[in-house]
Structure 1
Amino acid sequence: MRCIPEEREALLQFKAAIVDDFGMLSSWTTPHCCQWEGIRRSMSGEIHKSLVELSQLQYLNLSKNSFIYTHIPEFLGSLRNLKYLDLSSCRFQGQIPSQFGSLSHLKYLNLAHNAMNGLIPHQFGNLSQLRYLDLSYNYFEGNIPSQLGNLSQLHELYFGGGYLDNLKISDGGQWLSNLLSLTHLSLDFVSNLNRSHTWLQVIVKLPKLRELSLFHCSLSDNFILSSRTSKFNSSTSLSVLHLSQNSFTSPMVFQWVSNITSNLVELDLGYSLLEGSTSSQFNMVMNSLRHLDLSSNNFKAKDLKSFTNICTLCSLYLSSNKFTEDLPSILGNLSSGCVRHSLHELDLSSNDITGTLSDISVFSSLKTLFLDANRFNGMIHEGVKLPSTLENLSISRNFFQGGIPKLFGNACALHSLDMSYNSFSDELSMIISHLSGCARYSLEELSLQSIIPTSMGLLLDLQALLLRNNNLVEGIPFSLSNCTKLVMLDM
């Protein structure tokens, strides 16, 4: 089908206003504009008003371009047949055109990751077909318009995400009660949530809500204490809850969470001030929890006993806490319950853990272990075994000496090993030799800090080799040419 001449001319005028340094629109020359390659990225300039001639346009995606210092053109509100509009990551400034409220067929609207400011137009309440609305990572201010409660078809709604946001929730969030189709909700950086509990009572009643993000909302222990007088119907649909960068200090937040939802799968409480042990009741209620993020808090080794009997837990993130004990003490507190069989990923990086590496094979399902940026020292004993399931191990930025045990080479699932920035003294040829068991067929990424060993070619599946900050005096060994799967080499 040949395209309509008026529409072809409109697209060519649009192209003329674009700075296309990478030739992304180079195919826009043939008579058949229906075959032209679509717009992708790395463009700047301006959006030409000729687009209004495309009266039947339903899908417009200009995301990830660079319309820096420009406003969103008001004439886009004249494209009344639009169903999909993505203007995210375009560096737009200024306010959202109120004319967007006339796009009555719109089902998808994404304006995230720009630099827009001012009020969110109340005319958005006219977009009755809308199912997806993302306004995050901008600089909006004022109340979230209650007219958004008219969007009964909405599935996903995202606000906040920027430190310069000054959004507030209006009407105690009562307007949220009409969004019965909502599955994903982000109220990140909404600043007045700690002053009322009405919004929370409304949210936990939404029948389809699966994910809720309340990142950096100034919620505190006082908010929890004052909410005890409120009656909550525990949500049966909510499975993902993000509460990071709030001001919780007491472990009573765990009990509060268990009162809100009974089927939680993922909980993020990172970057708070939490310390101490939670009650055993949390373990019993959290019978579906798989991912728990407690990074950047004040937990100690003895507090880990609180989580040992969450038998579904797969991922536990504990980086940047207050662990000062040796690894056997920490793992002993964590491995006394069923979690030692369920845990797949454990992050203990950026703490002050002392001593040397101990046997971690008690965690029979562990796939990823991060121990980097601690205070480990001394030699790794020959008897240290890795779980047979382990795929990723990082022990970088410590003070390990000597080399690695031969048993490391029996980790037949090991894909990635980061040993950089330590004080290993063994010749790397010996280290590589110790990895030449069944690990030689699985290891894909290796990060080291020493002279390249002549036996590097033993690692047949190696894809990435990182050797920064070394003093290479012997040259590059010919055996490296045996690593025929190598993709990245960093010297």
Structure 2
Amino acid sequence: MRNPVQLPLMMFVLCAVSQVVNGEQPIRCLPKEREALLQFKVAIVDEYGMLSSWSTPHCCQWEGIRCSNLTFHILSLDLHGDFYQYRYLSGEIHKSLMELPQLQYLNLTSNYFQHTHIPEFLGSLKNLKYLDLSSCGFEGKIPIQLGSLSHLKYLNLGWNDLEGSIPHQLGNLSQLQHLDLSYNHFEGNIPPQLGNLSQLHELYLKISDGGQWLPNLISLTHLSLEYVSNLNTSHTLLQVIAKLPKLRELSLVHCSLSDHFILSSMPAKFNFSSSLSVLDLRDNTFTSPTVFHWVSNITSILVELYLSGNHLEGSTSSDFDNVMNSLRHLDLSYNNFKARDLKSFSNICTLHSLYLSSNNLTEDLPSILGNLSSGCVRHSLQELHLSSNHITGTLPDISIFPYLKTLFIDGNQLSGTIPEGVKLPSTLEELTIGFN
């Protein structure tokens, strides 16, 4: 039988916990951790008042701070900046953060720490699960100490000025699911130890080797390789990528892929994962619509295809229309297509959005829309971008696309008056016709 003296004490504890959980009183942070945050604040240059709330007694109520309801330890420090809103921190990341032993989440993305290195002491935050230091201007090498963060699931060091080799110690991060090292200046081959990251779902980086370590990444769903200059002369890497069993999104941007690559690989069958639904081939050097035939050979379940920033022109074959029976988004902006080429895409019956900005469309708008509406796409299209071409004429009947929500035709050479009775789709939400 429970001691009667204990009952009032238990009721008091339960009442106190209830008050905390229900927000009836603020969670009081631990004095040692509050002092650590204040030391961090002193070392930071806060021109825009991001830390202005860091003065009250209860640091768990400060902006960017989240504490445990039970232990009162600080669990999360989210101080991401925003350059466009003039809201970012600079200065020094103080080692007082080492006094936050239960910290699990640290987000400092889009702040301004240029001409500084990533602090080595971050490797001592053993409970970290999420670390985002992207777009901060960090220089130097990746500290090998980050390889000690055994609970880390998310690591983003992209968009900095990091250099040197990628430390093999990152291969120790056995729980890692997201790794972004893109847009830096690394040298040398990728350490084969990255092949140990069997839990990795998303990988963004630049590589200069054959990717022999890639087949071990059996959980990979998102892979982004940019500026891989040797990809155009070797099919080995792409064959390795094609065997990743769960790959859903593949980005090969700025990889100098050309028509020669496609023609030389036509006999080879890249048996891509049956789950591949997004393919990004922006800013390569394709000129021929043969790329559409190649894409339809390697996968038939694409939902999104990005081909902007190439030199494409001409009409594709009907095979592409027939095979692409799940495509919803097609980006062909910054190419050289003409109005007559648009018939090639008029029978993609699932297409919701089509981007054709900055092409070589010189015909009048009724002809362009007529070519595009000649097939079943007229019943599926919801978003059409025709900005920054050389389109002439005036605004015709747009109701031929009954489900269109967005139409951009700004930056062309339309002229005259808009007919008073012009028909618009009842679904239309946005019409941009300026700069004509």
TM bucket by the smaller chain?
0.7 to 0.9
1:58 partner amino acid: Q
**Alignment match, 2:41:** 15
Partner secondary structure for residue 376 of structure 1: coil
Question: Is 1:54 equivalent to 2:93 in the alignment?
Answer: no
In structure 1, what is the Cα distance between the partners aligned to 2:62 and 2:236? 52
Contact map agreement 1:234 1:262 (CA 8 A) in 2: no
- The root-mean-square deviation of aligned C-alpha atoms, in Å, is 1.9
In structure 1, what is the Cα distance between the partners aligned to 2:267 and 2:378? 38
Contact map agreement 1:156 1:185 (CA 8 A) in 2: yes
What's the CA shift string for 1:145-184, capped at 9, x where partnerless? Answer: 332111000111112xxxxxxx4332x2232111111111
Contact map agreement 1:314 1:345 (CA 8 A) in 2: yes
Question: Is 1:89 equivalent to 2:128 in the alignment?
Answer: no
Alignment: residue pair count = 390
In structure 1, what is the Cα distance between the partners aligned to 2:60 and 2:382? 49
Contact map agreement 2:190 2:208 (CA 8 A) in 1: yes
**Alignment match, 1:196:** 234
What's the CA shift string for 1:190-226, capped at 9, x where partnerless? Answer: 2222121122222222222111111111000111112
In structure 2, what is the Cα distance between the partners aligned to 1:5 and 1:231? 63
In structure 2, what is the Cα distance between the partners aligned to 1:6 and 1:119? 37
Cα distance 1:396–1:36, how it changes in 2: closer, same or farther (>3 A)?
closer
TM-fit CA distance, 1:295: 0.5
What's the CA shift string for 1:317-347, capped at 9, x where partnerless? Answer: 1111111111222122111110011111111
Contact map agreement 1:274 1:299 (CA 8 A) in 2: yes
TM-fit CA distance, 1:82: 1.5
Cα distance 1:20–1:246, how it changes in 2: closer, same or farther (>3 A)?
same
TM-fit CA distance, 1:47: 1.1
**Alignment match, 2:19:** none
Question: Is 1:277 equivalent to 2:303 in the alignment?
Answer: no
Contact map agreement 2:333 2:355 (CA 8 A) in 1: yes
Partner secondary structure for residue 379 of structure 2: helix
Gaps of 5+ in 1: 160-166, 399-491
Partner secondary structure for residue 286 of structure 2: coil
Partner secondary structure for residue 168 of structure 1: coil
Sequence identity (%): 76
Contact map agreement 2:397 2:424 (CA 8 A) in 1: yes
What's the CA shift string for 1:222-278, capped at 9, x where partnerless? Answer: 111121232321431011111011000111100111122121001010110111111
TM-fit CA distance, 1:133: 0.9
Partner secondary structure for residue 186 of structure 1: strand
Question: Is 1:247 equivalent to 2:285 in the alignment?
Answer: yes
What's the CA shift string for 1:289-313, capped at 9, x where partnerless? Answer: 0010111111111111111111001
Cα distance 1:361–1:79, how it changes in 2: closer, same or farther (>3 A)?
same
In structure 2, what is the Cα distance between the partners aligned to 1:250 and 1:342? 26
Once the two structures are overlaid, the 10-residue window that deviates more, 147-156 or 229-238, is 229-238
Q: Which residue of 212, 219, 227 corresponds with 2:257?
A: 219
Question: Is 1:124 equivalent to 2:170 in the alignment?
Answer: yes
**Alignment match, 1:430:** none
1:77 partner amino acid: G
**Alignment match, 1:327:** 365
In structure 1, what is the Cα distance between the partners aligned to 2:109 and 2:360? 42
TM-fit CA distance, 1:389: 1.5
1:325 partner amino acid: E
Partner secondary structure for residue 157 of structure 1: strand
What's the CA shift string for 1:361-391, capped at 9, x where partnerless? Answer: 1111111111111111223334421122211
In structure 2, what is the Cα distance between the partners aligned to 1:339 and 1:2? 59
In structure 2, what is the Cα distance between the partners aligned to 1:330 and 1:32? 63
Partner secondary structure for residue 177 of structure 1: helix
In structure 2, what is the Cα distance between the partners aligned to 1:82 and 1:48? 17
Partner secondary structure for residue 271 of structure 2: coil
Partner secondary structure for residue 342 of structure 2: helix
TM-fit CA distance, 1:6: 4.0
TM-fit CA distance, 1:29: 4.3
- TM-score, normalisation: structure 2: 0.85
Gaps of 5+ in 2: 1-26, 66-77, 82-87
**Alignment match, 2:12:** none
Once the two structures are overlaid, the 10-residue window that deviates more, 207-216 or 48-57, is 48-57
**Alignment match, 1:355:** 393
Once the two structures are overlaid, the 10-residue window that deviates more, 256-265 or 194-203, is 194-203
Question: Is 1:154 equivalent to 2:200 in the alignment?
Answer: yes
Contact map agreement 1:101 1:127 (CA 8 A) in 2: yes
Question: Is 1:389 equivalent to 2:427 in the alignment?
Answer: yes
Structure 2 counterparts to residues 57-136 of structure 1, below 5 A: 57-136=103-182
**Alignment match, 1:168:** 207
